[in-house]
Amino acid sequence: MWNWQKPNWPTFRYDAAGLEPYEQQFLLSAGEVLGAVHHVNTSDRDQLRIDLLSEEAMKTSAIEGEMLDRLSVQSSLRRHLGLAPDSYPSKPREQGVSEMMVDVYSTYSNPLSHDTLFRWHDMLLSYDRHLETIGAYRSHEDAMQIVSGRLDRPTVHFEAPPSHQVPAEMDQFVTWFNRTAPDGHEPLRALIRAGLSHLYFESIHPFEDGNGRLGRALAEKSLAQNIGQPSLIALAFTIERERKAYYDQLKRHQKTLDVTPWLIWFAETVLAAQQVTLERVGFYISKTHFYDRHRNQLNARQSKVIARLFKAGPEGFRGGLSAENYISITGTSRATATRDLQDLVEKGALTRTGELRYTRYWLNLDREG
């Protein structure tokens, strides 16, 4: 039996007291993220928001096996957030997920409605010409199954309620989501509510496609409502790193109404996601300190390369910056590149590892500066 076939569905059972330490840590870390963001200067704050939202858009799609164009996502986000647009073309798929991310971000405090979900689904999948139904719940008569393996011998991981049951199930879900909000009649703690909302929604699987991305958007909306502002945490980024465990947990808990292990796994994932966000905010603060230390010390070539390194994000260039990278970015000679790089090391802007052709350079982000 699937969870939705059990007599007490959708009454989930869990150990609320056992989750309390996670709830307290979540609120503490949420305050740390908010405080850290306020230390990012105004000009960088918009770019931080773009970077965090674009990474989430990329990763929530990657979880479903869909690879997006990062620059197109960022271009779309700039436009939807009302920021100065760049010249990079915005593609339909990237534009759709960006529009949905901005809508989740900007309307987080609104009660959930069927129209909200329909709007998100339409934004997300309006480019897809193969779906029967876009912007509405599924209505096909075939069983809604999650399967893998060979076509002639598929493994069924989960079967959702038949389409004719979906409207009633979603009426119940929307009512539950709003009732358990901080200002609802039966408010739930932040991590419990977000974890339950994701599992509950995925178990109904109300749309023909896009359920995973919408379910993660709902978890973000839930968390944002509980802390009173967009959380901006790297939830999809963190889930994507633990993708197999994520699917294993969903599969296991779509067969039971006892969901304490799911809520613990989800809580640990959210707390890890908060730490990723704190690291990213720290990177932006370090960027400000870096430019304060090295203002007017860099020539045009060096400035161009440093800007590219910062654009690569906290992880930097894969494998580090090489002399060849420097030559490619600046179009300069090898001798000039060598002098420029040595100068950057001497000024403390870069650190160097390796020797000869294995020499690599890294941003020196001394956060004490």
pLDDT in tens, 95-131: 999 999 999 999 999 999 999 999 999 999 988 878 8
Strand partners, 258: 13
Whether residue 367 has pLDDT greater than 60: no
Q: How many CA atoms lie within 13 A of 220 on its CB side?
A: 31
368 band by pLDDT with thresholds 50, 70 and 90:
very low
List C-alpha distances in Å: 155 to 30, 150, 152, 161, 256. Answer: 40, 8, 10, 18, 19
The pLDDT, as a whole number, for residue 151 is: 72
Q: For a pLDDT cut of 90, what percent of the chain falls above it?
A: 72
Tokens of 101: 């991310």
- Nearest Cα to Cα of residue 101 among 240, 204, 235: 235
- Comparing 45 with 302, the larger pLDDT belongs to 302
pLDDT above 50: residue 328: yes
Averaged pLDDT, 13-23: 98
Tell me, what's the pLDDT at 190? 98
Q: CB-based contacts of 126: which residues, under 8 Å, 6+ apart?
A: 92, 96, 134, 135
- Structure confidence at residue 369 as a pLDDT band (50, 70, 90): very low
Tens of pLDDT along 171-197? 999 999 999 999 999 999 999 999 999
Q: 3-state DSSP call for residue 78?
A: helix
Q: For residue 164, what pLDDT band results from cuts at 50, 70 and 90?
A: very high
pLDDT digits (tens, 9 = 90+) for 133-143: 899 999 988 87
CA dihedral (63, 64, 67, 70) positive or negative: negative
Average pLDDT, the chain: 92
Backbone dihedral region for residue 187 (phi beyond 0: left; psi -120 to 50: alpha; all else: beta)? beta
pTM here is 0.88
3-state SS of the chain: helix, strand, coil percent to 5?
60, 5, 35
pLDDT at 273 over 70: yes
Residue 148 pLDDT > 90: no
How does pLDDT run across 206-264, given as a tens digit for each residue? 999 999 999 999 999 999 999 999 988 999 999 999 999 999 999 999 999 999 999 99
pLDDT of res. 187: 98
Q: Which two tokens stand for residue 282?
A: 């720290």
Cis peptide before 10 (omega within 30 of 0): yes
Question: Which domains does the chain carry?
Answer: 3-282 (1.10.3290.10), 296-363 (1.10.10.10)
Two tokens, residue 202: 């995925």
Task: Summarize pLDDT for 69-96 with one digit per residue, the tens.
Answer: 988 999 999 999 988 777 788 788 899 9
Cross-strand bridge partners of residue 10: none
Which among 55, 59, 54 has a CA at the least distance from the CA of 79?
54
